[in-house]
């Protein structure tokens, strides 16, 4: 009897929960959906995909708390090498695949899968067009870190029976260096090329490092800390003379910002990141040449998606976002050549002006400032060292500006940047460096504010420094033997 009563009470309780659930998660009507989807009036361009009124949409409001960041003025963002904001046009393209077009792109038996698959293939084409590739050569990944691991470990392990030598540089991204370190533990021989004071490698040193058992050369296109652009086209031409060596480039900081053509540059594998070109986080791609075919061992095993190189269900909304970001970048980046003058895209020209404004105005008011890296590098990445100023104190004093002193992936470390040390920078100068990341949405007013704030802060910190006082008195700091004091 008690058991029967218990089961009856349990069913009633479950029924009440179910009823509550049904009342709470009621399917919204068309009018309800239209009332919660706000369509910005600014998006009238036919190329922009705006949310329709019949899509499922949600208006999110974060509750304000006393003393929260929402009640404060947000800092000016100049950290575009860490991540870029999602372009509103990209978000518009993604929304349908986050709402009513939620099919699995690998489902081949119904319309939901077909429309998601078509969106993925369109995105693949947009990305391929941006880098001069065939769409079939594009493999989607979770980001450039996965792409770099896939290229380096995949090629090395596939050819390990005959070739066990890899060449890279000392200034690569941490994920490239760690992938090479891991292969070193597996018995591979890794050569780390040095760079000059400007951050550029020597082609002669590269050619001298090539061996009969070299399987891969991995050199990034644009450095994430200094903006240095490596001579990728020349490197590709050099490696083409040596049969059987694959050329991989980490182009996360280059694609969508400077012209990149994988065929012109003779690149065999190239890593791409979505959130570095105004797309969403969590999505990236790797270009893997098919003709001649690049052979590599997959890192992930599973359903065999993406030519069997990268198993797993593709996040259609994120892929669409990456594709739209590539389409926009391609539209902005129209290269024209007039004799020897090359005009890149509107983004690049505008970023160049803002970069020149930042550097010129800081140098006009602050002495003993050193620019790290090649002055002919990517202008959206400006790395400056301020002598006689402690780096951590400088960053802490600049709370109104979102900056970094190096790569976001290694910002938790208090060690000086290994990239700047490879360029020959002294430890104190590497510690006092700041990386200014200028992007598509940076304004002149923001640059002017940053310049004035930097000038005031550096002068204030130097006034508190005994070293600066000695320099002002004409004492040569480098000539002092500090061990005697």
**Per-residue pLDDT tens for 132-190?**
999 999 999 999 999 999 999 999 999 999 999 999 999 999 999 999 999 999 999 99
Query: Is residue 108 over pLDDT 50?
Result: yes
Mean per-residue pLDDT for 270-288? 98
Residue 140: closest CA among 273, 325, 294, 259: 273
* Burial (0-12, 13-18, 19+ Cβ within 10 Å), 196: middle
Is the backbone peptide bond immediately before 178 cis, with ω within 30 degrees of 0? Answer: no
CATH 3.40.190.10 fits domain 346-473: no
Would residue 256 be called left, alpha or beta, if left means φ above 0 and alpha means ψ between -120 and 50 degrees?
left
CA distance 228 to 330: 22
The one catalytic residue among 175, 180, 381, 409? 409
CA distance 188 to 199: 26
For 441-470, write each residue's pLDDT tens digit: 999 999 999 999 999 999 999 988 777 777
Sequence-ordered list of residues with C-beta below 8 angstroms from that of 84, at least 6 positions apart, any chain: 275, 276, 277, 278, 439, 440
What pLDDT is recorded for position 427?
Answer: 87
Count of positions (residues) in the chain? 485
- The CATH number of 91-330, from 3.60.40.10, 3.40.50.300, 3.40.640.10, 2.60.40.1180, is 3.40.640.10
Determine whether 175 is an active site residue.
no
Mean per-residue pLDDT for 296-301? 92
What pLDDT is recorded for position 33?
Answer: 39
| Residues 80 and 380: beta-carbon distance below 8 Å | yes
Q: Which has more pLDDT, 32 or 201?
A: 201
Q: What DSSP string describes 396-463?
A: HH-TTEE-BSS-GGGTT--SPPHHHHHTT--HHHHHTEEEEE--TT--HHHHHHHHHHHHHHHHHHHH
* Topology match between the domains 91-330 and 346-473: no
| Residues 166 and 246: beta-carbon distance below 8 Å | no
| Residues 43 and 92: beta-carbon distance below 8 Å | yes
What pLDDT is recorded for position 473?
Answer: 63
For 203-234, write each residue's pLDDT tens digit: 999 999 999 999 999 999 999 999 999 999 99
From the CA atom positions of the chain, what is the Rg in Å? 26
What pLDDT is recorded for position 395?
Answer: 86
C-alpha of 413 from chain center? 20
Q: Which has more pLDDT, 254 or 44?
A: 254
* H and E: helices and strands count for the chain: 15, 14
Residue 169: closest CA among 248, 104, 265, 282: 248
What pLDDT is recorded for position 380?
Answer: 96
Domain boundaries, the chain: 91-330, 346-473
Mean per-residue pLDDT for 47-66? 50
Would residue 205 be called left, alpha or beta, if left means φ above 0 and alpha means ψ between -120 and 50 degrees?
alpha
Q: What DSSP string describes 143-183?
A: -HHHHHHHHHHHHHHHTTTT--EEEEETTS-HHHHHHHHHH
| Residues 309 and 147: beta-carbon distance below 8 Å | no
CA distance 384 to 363: 10
| Residues 207 and 231: beta-carbon distance below 8 Å | no
**Residues 459-466: contacts with CB within 8 Å, 24+ apart?**
459/366, 460/397, 461/389, 461/390, 461/393, 461/394, 461/397, 462/388, 462/389, 465/388, 465/389, 465/390
Residue 137: how many other CB atoms lie within 10 Å: 23
C-alpha of 322 from chain center? 12
Q: Which has more pLDDT, 192 or 13?
A: 192
What pLDDT is recorded for position 393?
Answer: 85
CA distance 323 to 239: 30
């Amino acid at each position: 009897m008690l058991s029967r009563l218990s089961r009856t009470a349990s069913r009633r309780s479950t029924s009440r929960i179910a009823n509550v659930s049904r009342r709470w998660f009621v399917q919204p009507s068309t009018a309800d959906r239209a009332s919660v989807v706000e369509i910005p009036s600014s998006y009238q361009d036919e190329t922009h995909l705006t949310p329709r009124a019949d899509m499922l949409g949600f208006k999110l409001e974060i509750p304000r708390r006393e003393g929260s960041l929402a009640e404060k003025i947000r800092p000016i963002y100049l950290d575009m090498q860490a991540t870029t904001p999602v372009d509103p046009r990209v978000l518009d393209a993604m929304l349908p695949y986050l709402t009513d077009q939620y099919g699995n792109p690998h489902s081949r038996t119904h319309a939901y899968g077909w429309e998601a698959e078509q969106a993925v293939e369109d995105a693949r084409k947009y990305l391929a067009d941006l880098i001069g590739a065939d769409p079939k050569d594009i493999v989607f990944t979770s980001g450039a870190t996965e792409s770099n691991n896939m290229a380096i470990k995949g090629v090395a392990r596939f050819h390990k029976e005959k070739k066990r030598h890899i060449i890279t540089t000392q200034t690569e991204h941490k994920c490239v260096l760690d992938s090479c370190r891991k292969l070193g533990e597996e018995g591979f021989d890794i050569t780390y090329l040095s760079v000059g004071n400007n951050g550029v490698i020597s082609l002669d040193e590269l050619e001298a490092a090539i061996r009969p058992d070299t399987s891969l050369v991995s050199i990034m296109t644009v450095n994430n800390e200094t903006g240095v652009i490596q001579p990728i086209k020349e490197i590709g031409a050099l490696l083409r003379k040596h049969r059987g060596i694959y050329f991989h480039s980490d182009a996360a900081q280059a694609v969508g910002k400077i012209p990149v053509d994988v065929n012109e540059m003779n690149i065999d594998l190239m890593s791409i990141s979505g959130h570095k070109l105004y797309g969403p986080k969590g999505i990236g791609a790797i270009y893997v040449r098919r003709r001649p075919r690049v052979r590599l061992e997959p890192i992930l095993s599973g359903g065999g998606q993406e030519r069997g190189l990268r198993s797993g269900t593709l996040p259609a909304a994120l892929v669409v976002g990456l594709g739209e970001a590539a389409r926009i970048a391609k539209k902005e980046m129209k290269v024209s050549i007039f004799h020897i003058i090359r005009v890149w895209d509107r983004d690049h020209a505008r970023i160049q002006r803002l970069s020149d404004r930042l550097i010129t105005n800081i140098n006009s008011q602050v002495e003993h400032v050193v620019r790290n890296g090649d002055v002919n590098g990517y202008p959206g990445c400006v790395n400056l060292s301020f002598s006689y100023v402690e780096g951590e104190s400088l960053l802490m004093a600049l709370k109104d500006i979102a900056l970094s002193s190096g790569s976001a992936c290694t910002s938790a470390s208090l060690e000086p940047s290994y990239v700047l040390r490879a360029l020959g920078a002294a430890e104190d100068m590497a510690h006092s460096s700041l990386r200014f990341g200028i992007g598509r949405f940076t304004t002149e007013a923001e640059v002017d504010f940053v310049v004035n704030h930097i000038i005031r802060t550096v002068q204030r910190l130097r006034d508190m420094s005994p070293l600066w006082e000695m320099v002002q008195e004409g004492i040569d700091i480098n000539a002092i033997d500090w061990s005697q004091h």
